[in-house]
Amino acid sequence: MRDIKFREWCVIENKMYAIDLYSECLRSGDSFKTMQFTGLKDKNGIEIYTDDIVQIDDVLGKIIITYIYYSLGAFRYRHDDGSGSVLDMITTSKVKGYESVTKDIEVVGNIYENPELFEEIESLKNNS
């Protein structure tokens, strides 16, 4: 069982807020962008959320810079060619009970605080 957690980016304040479902309600509207915790942590122990920008060292030794999103019942990441892969437990190791740490992924930012990284990812996808 994974922790159900969210965080929100406030567009007006340019500030990230941690949201605990037991103590606060999620806000809605154009001023807030909600991100859901995947239940996974990167190789440095950083929690991975939707809209995070990550660096993935794939099995062929290629480094992929991409972002995490939720679609069709799974957390996924986007490839340069626009296709997606499921962020799964294959490349993870169990630590501290139910926490999982991905050995091949590192969070390098998110699409709201680091829009320049997101724009670079999108331009690579559009040029392939």
User: CA-to-CA distance for 115 and 121, rounded, in angstroms?
Assistant: 10
**Across the 128 residues of the chain, what is the mean pLDDT of every consecutive 10-residue run?**
82 86 64 90 92 84 85 81 68 49 85 86 64
CATH of region 38-127: 2.30.30.290
- pLDDT value for 31: 85
- Give the mean pLDDT of the chain: 78
What is the pTM (predicted TM-score) of this model? 0.78
By DSSP bridging, strand 32-41 and strand 52-57 are: unpaired
DSSP E strand stretches across 20-121: 32-41, 47-49, 52-57, 63-71, 74-78, 84-86, 92-95, 99-102, 105-110
